[in-house]
Every structure is written in C-alpha cells, then in structure tokens.
C-alpha cells in the first residue's frame, strides 16, 4: 500500500495578519503561507508488529489516525496533537489517497495587528469567533 499524501492548512488568522501588508491587501497566496506539508513522517500501520514505535520516539509531535475501508477509502481521520486541532478533512477528488486537512493552531496574541484599520481588526475577530464555534462543535464528537 502506498503511503497517503497528507497536507494540512493551519487556519489560524496569524498567517493572514502576517501576510497583510501596509495597504491592508492580502498576500495573493495567503493560504499557501499557512500550508504545511508534514515532514519527518513515520507511517505506522495497524497490522504492524511493532506498534509501540510512536511511544518511543520523543520527536513525534502530531499523530494523524486515518481509518479506511477495504477499498482504502478514507472513512475517518483523527488528529492527535497538542499544537493543532482538526477542523475538517477531505480527500482529493481524483485521488482518495491524497488527504487534505484543515487544522488550527492555538490563538496567539497578534502583535502585527496593532496598525490595522478597524474593519480588518473586526474581520479577524469575527473569523476567530467562527473558528471557536467550529472547534466547539467538534468537542461533542470527541
């Protein structure tokens, strides 16, 4: 079985704020600035004899648990991480082994936001409220 290709986008507004330049414009590629391709990936399969590998390796920061059916179609994705929580996931239309995850990192103080106009500050606030509600809704399925 080929390993899954996993991309994760951090929806934290801090990436947008950093990409906003003086005139308040948005970095044309602002979403890709938040895109992370997990590196240093270790794949562990349920059938593996030695499942304890992730407990021994202290470098492991985030665990993505992917459940599939017999046709290797993804049925459930779970992210176990202290730094990120999962908002949603989907597989690519043409390749069900390409997995896209929308995750969010902890809200941080936005030092760069000080000079932004009120509408932009408001936009950030609204967006984060939306994300909080999103996060809260994932709590009941935990």
Partner 1 sequence: MNNSGIEAISDNARRFLEQTQSVCHESNNRLSLVKTRIRDWQKYRSKLRFILDCIGEQCSYLANVLLKNGIGKTLIEKQWGRMVLVDLAGEMEWWQRDIQKMIKRLDSVQNILEKQRKSTLGDFISRDNSHMLDMKLDELPVIRKQVENISRQYQQTLGKVQTQLIGIRLKKLEEEFDSRFGDQCEANLKLDDQFTVEADQLEHELADFLKSFTDHFDKCSMLMSGTLTPSGSKSLYEIVERDDKELPAIDTALHEAAKDVSDFAKEVNALLDAKEGEKSHMEASLVKILADLQKHEEYILVFEGISKLIERFRNSCLEGIHQSKELLSFYVNFENSYHKLLSEVERRQETATKMSQILENCEAQLKKLDAADIRQRQVFLLENGDFLPETIWPNEIGNLSSLYTLDYSVRDV
Site membership for partner 1, residue 75 (CB under 8 A): no
Contacts of residue 124, defined as CB under 8 A and 6 or more positions apart, other chains included, come to 13, 16, 17, 110, 113, 116
Q: Is 80 in the site for partner 1 (CB under 8 A)?
A: yes
User: CA-based Rg of the chain, rounded to a whole angstrom?
Assistant: 18
85 near partner 1, rule: CB under 8 A: yes
Q: Per rule CB under 8 A, is residue 122 in the interface with partner 1? A: yes
DSSP E strands in 1-142: the ranges are 5-10, 35-36, 62-68, 74-81, 84-92, 95-105
Give min distance, CB of 117 to partner 1, in A.
8
* H-helix or E-strand spanning residue 15: helix 14-19
Six token digits for residue 61: 């920061």
22 sits near partner 1 (criterion: CB under 8 A) = no
Comparison of 77 and 124: residue with beta carbon closer to partner 1: 124
CB of 27 or CB of 128, closer to partner 1: 128
Residues that bind partner 1 (CB under 8 A): 80, 82, 85, 106-110, 113-114, 116, 118-119, 121-122, 124-126, 128-129, 131-133, 135-136, 138-140, 142
């Amino acid at each position: 079985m080929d390993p899954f290709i996993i991309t994760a986008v951090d929806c934290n507004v801090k990436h947008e704020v950093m990409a906003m330049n003086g005139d308040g414009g948005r970095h044309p590629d602002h979403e890709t600035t938040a895109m992370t391709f997990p590196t240093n990936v270790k794949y562990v399969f349920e059938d593996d004899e030695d499942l304890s590998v992730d407990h021994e390796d202290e470098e492991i920061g985030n665990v993505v648990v992917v459940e599939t059916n017999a046709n290797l179609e993804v049925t459930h994705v779970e992210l176990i991480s202290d730094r990120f929580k999962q908002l949603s996931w989907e597989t690519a239309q043409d390749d069900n082994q390409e997995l896209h995850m929308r995750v969010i990192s902890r809200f941080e103080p936005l030092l760069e936001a000080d000079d932004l106009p009120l509408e932009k500050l408001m936009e950030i606030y609204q967006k984060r409220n939306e994300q909080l509600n999103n996060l809260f809704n994932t709590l009941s399925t935990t």
